[in-house]
Structure formats: structure tokens, C-alpha cells
A and B are shown apart, each in its own frame.
Chain A
């Protein structure tokens, strides 16, 4: 076994961390959030120059040929900086559909634009009654001649307000909860019949409510089999979960560092509060939760590329459960140990706590994935 990064991976990690340390302090982040897009287009250009957008695409498609480990490195660093740019929706989700579901023509047409950062993408999946079920799709794609006509409403589309194109799950056949009959269509965000309402999410990121009113797309807009794209969706989301787990590790490690520092400098009763054993033990619980999260993230990352759907899914369920509950413990303790200061918008720790909380609500909370794993037979069966 080898847990070490390659030299290239180390360089990637160091240079991205340096960039973020340099340009993504807490005050700068506030300025980025106040920009019209809700994030920094300068940073977006920096990421593109560093090759982060091209990273996961294969070299023959015009990318850099990175894999899940490279994505993990990037997401952890972005999590630590609490970065706001739509990297996750564009590169992880959108890039996932391009890589895993695109035909040769689709790849040739779209990957170059995605890889240079000019095309932003989003995944329109959540619906009013879907909760976390990827197969609950009420949005429809009706076949009409050689086209599909998409109608329905999607909620909380991450990065949906700034995306140029949207991957949309829509039903070509069957009832709202059938696993068959789901297609994935790439829709222009400004196509006739698409309306968007963008907003800030609880953690300061951006999302949109998007409705599709008889939006006509050609057959070539379908990614994967328009009658049976759920396996593609699952695969993309499993990889996305590994990426969110990595982001969580960054978020949790930042909370732990802030908290340990605070325990050393905050004085009450004439001593640093870190002298109180009960607080030391809480800090240790946070540390253990972080290391557990880091390990399960490595596991999900290693499995992210697996062609064994069941095995990959179980790893994703396990990771999402562990970061969900570990992240909650770390976040709640971090606030508690800061006292009143932790409750304020002016101080960083609360923002990490909110991001951590929102990650749990993205693609299934810890309870949802725990159940899914249990139903899949657990992690260690035979």
C-alpha cells in the first residue's frame, strides 16, 4: 500500500494551496461573495490557468488526464479555503457527464470549452418531491420527431445561475419513481422555455430554481441512453460524493485548526481555555472525526473509478455517511468551543460550519446513505 502523492500530485496540491492562501483569505472571500456572480471570475481564470478545469479529462480529449486523486486534492484545498467558484458543478458534475456519458462528438465539441473554463455547467436534478432519490424524476422529455421536449421544474441546482449549459434528468418513459425511462439531456441555459431564478444558499454559495417549459432539444443532446441513463447518473454522483467528501476534509481540517488555535489564545479564569480537560477531549474527538473522514474519503476516492457499480456505490454511501456525521460533530463542537464568537458572521468558523451542514444536504444526508448502505448489505458482507 502506498498513501503518498506522486511528485506531480504534490506540486498540484502545493501550488493550489499557495494560490488560495494568497488570494482567498476570509476578507477576500467576502469580497468575492459580494461580486455580481457571487464568486470571483479572477479566481476562476487562475484555476483555468493552473489547469484545474482540464484536470479530470483524458489527454486525448484535450485534458490533463487526472483521476479521482487529483480531484480529491483540488476539492480538499477548495474546501479549506471555502472557495465559492462553481468548480464542483462545472468540473466534477458537468465534467463527469462529459467524461462518462459523452459520445465522441459530444466530447469533441464540449470538452475543450469546459477544459479552458469558458463553459460552466450544472446538474439539474432535485425536484420538489424527489428528496435524495436520483431515480425520482417527474420532469419529462417527450419524443417529438427527432427532438425531445423537456418540461418540469428543478430545485437547488448548484451553480445553476451562472451555468451556460445544464445537464437535466428527465423522464422519457415510465412513472415518477421507475428506474428505467430516465434520460440525461444537455440544455442551453438560455434556450427558449428555460427560466431561472438564482439565489444564495445558506453557506454563501449559489444555486437556482429552474423550470423547463416545453424546451426543445435535438436527439444529440441526450447523454447516454435516453431511456436508461440512471446508471450514468449514479456513476457521476458517486464520483461527486467522493469529491464532496474531499471538500469536507478540507472544511473540517480548517475548523479544527481554528478551534485549536482559539483554545490556546482565549483566556477565561486566568488560563487559556485549552487548559480545561473537557475542552481538550472535545478537540480530540474533532481530531479523530477528521482523521476518520480523511480515511473514508481515500476509500471512496479509490473506488470512484471502479466499474463495479455495487462496490462503488457502497463506498460512496459509506463516505457520505461518515463525513455527514463526523462533519456535524466537528462543526457543532467548533461553534461550542468558540462560545459567542462562533455564533457570529464576522468570524470564519461559522461559515465552515454552514458549508459542512449544506454538504450533508447535497446528494443525500448521512441518514439517507446509512440506510442505502444497510439496504445494499453493508460494507463488509462477504
Chain B
């Protein structure tokens, strides 16, 4: 047993860091540090920089443009990306629909979509949830009826992240209403420019504009946009939801936030001294750090096991544990960050895009402290809520 990284792995880490240092625009990094809204363009440019280097879809199989790194290197890459911090490639393409396409898609689909995902030529969004189908996703109602060489799609998707930027949406749709609900679902790729699609924004409690409702009315989708077989969509969806494992705990992101907490706590005052010198505050920070260190090692255990066994692509209940603990730590750090700013976290700083040219309320770096806390309540809700993850562990791990 040896819990250290090998010299080669450490060298790799240095290489990754150096690349970020040399290539990420300072302004993009600043926006991430300050928790500011990123423009579509920031992510497109950055993805293309990564893609030129061959790193945009690092974890994909080599024949589809991946790097061939072992799981440990994948892990290191993502950890450094988050810690730096640099923007994560858009998950809906890179982590979700991409792997579904290269695993279950047709040759034509692979050839067309995969390079466009890697270069962010197509912005993808995820059309799974519906008003009546959240945790109980399989009860979805959006209907696709085959007519000649098209499907006609009618229904509503909701909570669709960044659909306002999307060129494409991958949807779970009902193609058979006569069978058990999981068996009548298909996986369709839909061009957002198709007539009959309407996107309406939903504002989140922090004032953010990241989610939407997507209405589909008589949307004509060519049958070649079906992925895999008709009525097998639930299997692909399960594959997609269980696929994310190497980075589900977002350890790098929490490390970055802890670094930020330290930085700000050094300049905020408590009792006439920097908050960071306050023993009670340090205890509370240390307590989160312990949790995070343990989680990091748990994540690494999963990664190492993957490396030995080879990623089977099958959902592993360990993902559920990593997601639960990871989300709790992310939420604890966003709360701590708000506490650091104290009363100065109270002003609401309107979106700089709203056309107001008033100078920011000082300290400007407090602007995202409370919204960050509010917004991160989502991480225990989406991608399978923490209650659902616990149900999975109770059943699959504990046999209850």
C-alpha cells in the first residue's frame, strides 16, 4: 500500500497546471473565482483551446478523440481543472450524450456528433426531467409517435440547464404507452432549431438564469436521430446517469473554494483581527477539510479500483456515496464562504449584464457569497437527489 502519487503522476500534474497557467484567459479565471456568470463564448473558447491540445474529451476512448489516460490521470486532470479553477467542459455533451453516442449510437451519429461535441460546435442540453417526472423519471410523458421517417414529439421538459444556449437537446421520450413504464422510453437527439420548440427561462432563487422549461409541440424529428433501439432509452439513461464516477465528488472544486475561503478570511475582520486568525473559525474550516480529505481518498479508492478492473461503464453504488458526501461538502463550503463575508453578503448585486453602469457595492467580491450558498442547494437535488442516492445505497450496498 502506498498513498502517494507516483513521480510520473506528479509530473503529469505539473504539466496540466502549466498548460492552464499558459492558456486560460485571466478574465475567465477571475469570473470563476468571483463566482460570476460565464458567457457562452468563454466556455466555447476554452473548450476549443483544450480540444486543440487533445484534452477536451480526455476520458473518451482514444478512437473517439480521448487521451487514453488511465483513471488516475483523468482524476488528476479534473482535479487540477477545478482547483485552478478553469471551466469544466460542458457536461451535457462531454459526460452525458457523448458517451451514450459512442457506446450505443450508429456509425453515422458517431462520425457527425462526437467531433462537434469535443469542439463545442454543438451546445447540448439534457431533456430528461418533466414537471411530473423528477425523481420518478421513468414516469415521463413526452410522447414521440412515429410517422413515416419522422417522430412527432409533443410534451414538456423542465429544469433544462442552459437550454437558452443549446443547439441540440437529447430527450427521453415515450414511444410505447402499453408496456411497463421503463420499457416504453426512447432516446432522441433533437435539433433546437426545429419548429415547435419553445424555451422559457426559469429564474433560480439566487437570481441566476441557468434553467429553463422546454415546450415541444408537433416537433418533427428524423428517425435517424434515434439513438440505439426504440424503447431501449431507459437503459441508455441509466448508463448516462451512472457513467460519471471519476469526478462526481468534485473534490477539486471544494479545494478551490476552501482556498478562496482562506483568502477572504485573511482580509475580513473579526474581533479586530483577521477572521482567519480566529481559533473558532479555523476549527470550523479544519472540520470541513477533514471531511474533504477523507472524501478525496474515497474518490481515489474508487478511481484505483476502476484502473485495476477497467471501467465497466456500469453504475457503481459508490457513485451515490461520492455524490452525497461531495454535495454536502460543496454546500458546507458555500455556506462558510457566505459566513466569511458576514453582513457584507447582504446587498444584492444586480447582474452587470443588466445594463446598469453603477459601480459595484463594496466589497465587490462579496457579491456572489450569498447567491453561491442559495444556488448550491441544487447539488443535493439534481442528478438524483440525495434521498434517492441513499435509497440506492440502502438497497444495493446494504441489502436492505
A residues neighboring B (CB under 8 Å): 126, 128-133, 136, 155-156, 176-177, 197, 199-202, 207, 209, 267-270, 276, 278-279, 332, 335-336, 339-340, 342-346, 350-351, 353-354, 357-358, 361-362, 365, 367, 371
Contacts and interface: CB of A to CB of B under 8 A. Distances in A.
Contacts of B52: none
A371 B280 contact: yes
B381 A340 contact: yes
B370 interface: yes
Given A177-B272, A345-B205, A350-B374, A361 B343 contact: yes
Contacts of B275: 131
B202 A156 contact: no
Contacts of A367: 280, 284, 339
B163 to A, nearest CB: 14
> Is the contact region of chain A dominated by helix, strand, or loop, or is it mixed?
mixed
B377 A202 contact: no
A202 B344 CA distance: 11
Interface in B264-282: 268-272, 275, 280
B235 interface: no
Nearest to B342: A131
Contacts of A269: 135-136, 139
Interface stretch (B40-48, B74-82, B245-253, B382-390): B382-390
A176 to B, nearest CB: 7
> Is the contact region of chain B dominated by helix, strand, or loop, or is it mixed?
mixed
Given A276-B387, A336-B385, A345-B203, A131 B378 contact: no
A332 B390 CA distance: 18
B156 to A, nearest CB: 13
Contacts of A129: 269, 272
B346 A340 contact: no
Given A201-B348, A343-B381, A350 B343 contact: no
A4 to B, nearest CB: 37
Contacts of B272: 129, 133, 136, 176-177
A192 B280 CA distance: 43
A126 to B, nearest CB: 5
A202 B134 contact: no
A155 B204 contact: no
B204 A199 contact: no
B85 interface: no
B98 to A, nearest CB: 25
B342 A365 contact: yes
Contacts of A362: 343, 346
A156 B269 contact: no
B129 interface: yes
A343 B271 contact: no
Given A332-B377, A357-B373, A209 B361 contact: yes
Given A346-B202, A365-B339, A371-B280, A199 B348 contact: yes
B319 interface: no
Contacts of B207: 345
Given A199-B347, A201-B347, A354 B374 contact: yes
A268 B135 contact: yes
B380 interface: yes
Interface string B204-225: 1101000100000000000000
A350 B207 CA distance: 11
Contacts of B268: 131
Contact of A155 (B331, B343, B370, B382): B343
Contacts of A200: 347-348, 350
